[in-house]
């Protein structure tokens, strides 16, 4: 996977006990905006690096008849989502 570290818009569900489940995200480039449905969250891990607390979501989606694996990060203090690797 290649590191892209691009801010994205995410639609996520927060459970009553505080768990986060991303549902879909929107990525915008100069040419187009694409909405991608997250088919499966494979792994979730919390991490704190250099004082930044983040939750990593390893995900899979089917895009143009190909299965793509990528990593989303939710930075809890900044409350922002990042497409970190694809």
Q: Give residue 48's domain range.
A: 3-85
- In three state form, how does the secondary structure of 9-75 look? EEEEEECCCCCEEEEEEEEECCCCEEEEECCEEEEEEEEEECCEEEEEEEEEEEECCEEEEEEEEEE
Per-residue pLDDT, 1:
81
Total tally of structural domains belonging to the chain: 1
Best CA proximity match to 78, nearest among 45, 44, 55: 55
Q: What is the mean pLDDT of each run of 10 residues along the chain (86 residues)?
A: 92 94 92 93 93 94 92 95 94
pTM of structure: 0.89
């Amino acid at each position: 996977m290649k590191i892209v570290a691009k801010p994205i818009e995410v639609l996520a569900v927060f459970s009553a006990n505080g768990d986060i489940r991303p549902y879909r995200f929107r990525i915008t480039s100069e040419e187009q905006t694409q909405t991608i449905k997250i088919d499966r969250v494979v792994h979730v891990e919390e991490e704190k690096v250099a004082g930044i607390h983040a939750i990593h979501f390893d995900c899979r989606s089917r895009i143009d008849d190909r299965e793509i694996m990528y990593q989303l990060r939710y930075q809890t203090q900044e409350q922002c989502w990042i497409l970190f690797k694809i």
